[in-house]
Amino acid sequence: MPPVKLNILQSAERQITATFDPHVVGDVNEAQVKVAKFGEVFDWHAHEQEDEAFFVLKGQIAIDFRDGTVELGEGDFMVVPKTVEHRPRSLTKEPVVVMFEPKTTLNTGDADSALTVSDLKHLTA
């Protein structure tokens, strides 16, 4: 039986009801592919042991750094190196963003807040 195909954008639109609530798309070796709708503003945080990659499927986001901001639109990709403090936020209504990171990575990194999600849901077809 072949692996299951998943349209990430369609599934995210149907199943993700809250912003900054990452869902697992799939496991790849020791990493996870996650998807989330971004909201107005997130916590400042860093990931001490892991890089974090962002790929924008729909809409536009900004990732703030202490020394500037990078804006990403549909099809844009960026890696935030480990230890770099950052804060993602939406520039359009509920953009859909795919993230690539180790399975052990918490969405808020070294910050513990109401936005921390430790029990991830899985996106389904």
Q: What is the pLDDT of residue 104?
A: 78
- The pTM of the full predicted model, rounded to 2 decimals, is 0.90
Residue 111: the pLDDT is 67
- Fold (CATH) for 8-109: Jelly Rolls (2.60.120)
CA dihedral 69, 24, 98, 109 (to 10 degrees): 20
Closest CA to 50 of 27, 38, 63, 32: 32
d(CA 115, CA 17) in angstroms, rounded, equals 14
Low-confidence ranges of the chain (pLDDT < 50): none
